[in-house]
Structure 1
Amino acid sequence: MSTTLDGPRIAPASGTATQLVVFLHGYGADGNDLIDLGAQWQRWMPDTAFVSPNAPEPCGMSPMGRQWFDLTFQNPNERWVGVNHAAPVLNAFLDSELARYNLKPAQLALVGFSQGTMMALHVGLRRPEQIGAILGYSGIIVFDEARGPESLADDITSKPPVMLIHGDQDQVIPPQALPISKQILDDLGVPTQAHISRGLAHGIDGEGFQRGGAFLLNSFGIPLPK
């Protein structure tokens, strides 16, 4: 995949970036879907740059949207094939963004939603140098169905702090995905927090926004707002 990613950006309010947050949107959306989170979090993180790249492919089910990989629900391993297919272009984008702001990997956080969470976990746990944090909404960790989740121990290269947030009324990716993913990450030794938002379907609510923002601040070593 030779596509170069780009998408909406928010420059650091202070004028100089000391952290970078990259949003990874869900299936059928685009970079505009999550960038407003950055606009709201920026009041807590004035030295942070935010970018929300459009996924590399047009979405087969939503021609106006984008996808990190296709979903047919006919191949039980298509998520695994998909995250591996999309990983190189996302890694290249992350490398270029870190270079753009002259930042180190520890100053990078990935924030994903749904399919974007799958990408955030897949790429974030395999970066050659550990990144600062992974925040995943309404997603699940992906593994090779033929080898099982135990195979991830041979694949991951770093263990950044992770927070997973999921709605208990999610009918797109069932809420059971959260405890399953957390257990897998716990077994791998990845420090993982989890939160269930009551009454929430496939989305992000105010509580999830607040908890996610606090997690990023803590991961970056930024004092919590008073």
Structure 2
Amino acid sequence: MNVVITGASRGIGLELVRQCLARGDVVHAGVRAPRRATELASLVRGSSGRLHVHMLDVADEASVQVFAGALPGPVHLLINNAGVRSRPDALAGLDSEDLIRTFQVNAVAALRVTVALLPQLRAAGGAKVANLSSNLGSITDNSWGGAYGYRMSKAALNMATRSLGHDLKEDGILAFAMSPGWVRTDMGGSEAPTAVEVSVTGLLTVLARLGGEDTGGFFDFEGHRLSW
């Protein structure tokens, strides 16, 4: 299976690369600074030619177009993992420019990459798109406020995924919003309860079993359907 993973240099993205390689996939990893992606470089050496690292800035249209043009088809699984979160992200001192940047990277960019790769996804004859969202993007589950940029961007990503589920179904492409949980990464912090290996194993297991009746849905790494 040919897999594309954005934001692949660390955290969840890097572990996705590791586990996809371990199960035998060919992986195209998009990163902003390939020369600094030292852990990816070590994986390349042991991948028997199955890992390809590409420069990709998901917030830049030209970069996304170059990336898409460099990828051979088909693409069976696209994981839009690249994301940012600024702290503090509270009402007091809200930085509107940072909020817009967060929205661009977390929501608009995933849609941009998906559209750019549509020819390769269509060529797979049954591709899946996984947009890495968050429980914090659930309006129903917002019980304590705050996290304005992050919450808004992930809610927007969920809406985009819902529309993709409708618009791409005739092409045989399924789309899902996936919450990895609160994960111990640089973004999640050391207090997060879920190990990155556990989250990624769950994400890939759930993705493998989701079908046409689930497209456009919002799920966590344990397979539970989440509220919008």
TM-score range, shorter chain: 0.3 to 0.5
TM-score, length-normalised on structure 1?
Answer: 0.45
